[in-house]
Amino acid sequence: MEEEKEGDLKISVIDTLKVIPPPSMLKEDRRRGVVEKRIKIRRSPSTEENKARISPSLAKELGLSGDAVEIVVAGRKSLQLAPIIDESVPENEVWVNENLLKLYGIADNTIATIRRASRR
C-alpha cells in the first residue's frame, strides 16, 4: 500500500510550467551592432578628398575597422570614402571635403545614411 501512495504523487500543471523556459530564452541571442545610422553631412575644406572625418563613438557603433564607409543620400547618391577618426567631430555628423560634395551635388547639413562599405 505504501508503494502505491508514492506512485500516485501528482504534480500540478503550474509547477510543470515553471520548468519550461519561455520562448525568448530558447531563441538564440544574436545581438549585432548597429548596421547603419542617420547622420548629417557637413562640408569641411580641411578634409582630404575621398576621406570622411568620423567621431570615435560613431566608428565604434558601426564597427568600423578603417576599411571604408558608404554614405547614401536619399537612396540615390552613394559615396564610398575612407574613414578618418577625429575627436573634434560631433557624434551625429560626418565631415567630407567640400569640393567632393559639390561635385556630387550634396548640400551642407544634408541628412544621409552611413554604413560600413560592403566587401566586394
Determine the 3-state secondary structure of 58 from DSSP.
helix
Q: Give the pLDDT score at 41.
A: 93
Q: What are phi and psi of 48, to 5 degrees?
A: -70, 160
| 3-state SS assignment for residue 77 | strand
Residue 60 grid coordinates: 565604434
pLDDT over 60 (residue 5)? no
Model's pTM, two decimal places? 0.68
Run of H or E including 24: helix 23-26
Q: 100: alpha, beta or left, given left = phi > 0 and alpha = psi -120 to 50?
A: alpha
Provide φ and ψ at 104, rounded to 5°: -90, -5
How confident is the prediction for the chain on average, in pLDDT? 82
Tell me the pLDDT tens digit for each residue of 41-74. Answer: 999 888 888 899 999 988 888 888 778 889 999 8
- The SS3 call for residue 3 is helix
Beta strand 51-54 with 77-85 is: parallel
pLDDT band with cut points at 50, 70 and 90 for residue 31 = low
Range 36-116 classified under CATH 2.40.50.140? no
DSSP β-ladder status, 77-85 and 110-116: unpaired
Task: Kindly calculate the radius of gyration of the chain based on its CA atoms and give it in whole angstroms.
Answer: 27
